Chain A
Amino acid sequence: MNLTRLLAAAAASAAGLGLLAYTSAASLAYHPEDGARLRLSWSARPERIEKCRQLSAEEQAQREEHMRQRVECEGGFASYALRVEVDDRSIGETVFRGGGLRHDRPMHVLRDFPVPAGEHRVRVRVTRRETTDDDAAAFAQPVVPDADTGLFAGRAQREAAERARSARAAIPPALLLDTTFRFTPRQVALVSFDAERRVLVLHGRGGETAGRPR
């Protein structure tokens, strides 16, 4: 290799490596605007909406012993309307429901809304779309004495406890978060569902604001 070629090769190699280093970490715009975001993110179980009726003693007698339910329920899972307002102006409205073909799986919400930096009134409203009949009556009927003895002892209590548990596991029929929040530039304020307190919560830097069930 003569000197000229050596110098040319060195220069070309240096240029190639420089280009490699540049393309390996080129600064690429991601969120160039100075705005902020309101993010809604939670997972919750939809409520089961059922119509229940008590089976008569004759109906129960026709069934196998292990199939003798006192109360039979039919129904589906609730869907929910979500409305997001910033400064009394709606910025998003949608309907969400449980996952899976029968919508019986948890529903997942993940939405981002751009919001200009500054102080804003934020209102997030979740409302169940279906109305329910009060089916408590079906469960409140006097217990059929034969069915709740022996193998079935304590069944009424267990059924009541199970219904209470699943009702608590589901999202309440109505939720409202209504608060004023100061968005700093590039901040993401997060609204999530607190399953313990059963309220929507807005997390920002320096604390959180809880909403309330309506």
Chain B
Amino acid sequence: MLRERKLGRGVAVVGAGLSKFGVFKDKNSKDLFTEAFQEMLASVDKGLEPKDIDALYLGNFTNDFFTHQAHWGPIIADLIGHTPKAATRTEGACASSGLAFREGVFAIASGFYDIVLVGGVEEMSKRTTSEVTEGLALASSPYEGQIGLTFPGCFAIMATAYFEKYGATRQHLMNVTVKSHNNARFNPKAQFNLSIRDIMDSRIERARSKGEPIPAWKDEQEFLLDPVVNPVVSWPLYLFDCCPISDGASCMLLVAEEIAKNFTDNPLHVAGIGQGSGLDLHAVDDLTFFEATRHAANEAFKMSGLNPEEIQFAEVHDCFSIAEIIHLEDLGFCKPGEGYKVVAEGITKLDGPKPINTSGGLKCKGHPVGATGTAQLYEVWKQLRGEAGKRQIPNPNLRVGAAHNLGGTGGTCTVTILERR
């Protein structure tokens, strides 16, 4: 593919950190960002003097709603001793830190800054599920939120449209869930690091020890069909189709390519970045794809000169199981209508030809919305540096990975391609 877009100067990733994701009643946003920041500092092979950071871009969706505290740029700047230098909050719903990463890249590419910290944070779990549902619905269209449409509801509507058009069923969604859980088993930072089989075994064990009737699930599908363990949230999406409510933070250190060797001999290069925007549900003619993803991916591919086939693995925004299937298609990893078949064939498994969401994805790693974009890129960083431990993709020639971050119901999307050269 012809390179049609380029940065003013190259940008490299030389450090990355991630807090543990989960529900933490005893940690706030500052505690979580501190965890991510500490790991980032330790990850810079040749060390970083924090005072050398020129600017901070921080993704946060709606801590305003979740914690009644806004203006998180300077709060985090203060936390890490960055004041009085620039701190900017970026907001693009669940793509907030995808935007932070992109703004950081532009700040360096423009020549204005050399060393930029990008990241994100969200603190969601101190609200009830119903309140969080309302908070997240702030990112849907006014017309849709007002009548009671929720986030899961929007994706459920897309699922019925997808099922109708392509003949997929609820069973196909389960393949995504089972795979995500299998991957998360090997991710110590994940909110849920049990496979579906592990969860079944532990429930059977618990029933046995309590003298209760032993559940008779034959396999993972039977477990997921059991309405007691997997109740409906927004039909046809059930609990195990939905990402959890999470707290967490993530960050990455970006530097100008020409000084990357001062920080590490093993940097990653920003090969492609793209961003798109999209319409409300009622305004699109076809509910089975996201125009914003297609646009963002096209931009990123044009900058990188790479084709979808050349992306060896990716983290995609699986806020709901149906979303992962749709993203595979929108990113060009398969044809429209074939995403569910690709997953069923095992192509997206950790040891398959195109591993997807090796971290466990939003479904299992967790989805502290503002932290997710750079958390996805943290996974790409880990994989490309060969530091992913037991979930390392078994390919000795891993060179190119991508992250796809979606905000709202496709209102904002970023696609980022990182490369080891």
* Same complex: no
Binding site for A on B (CB under 8 A): none
Binding site for B on A (CB under 8 A): none
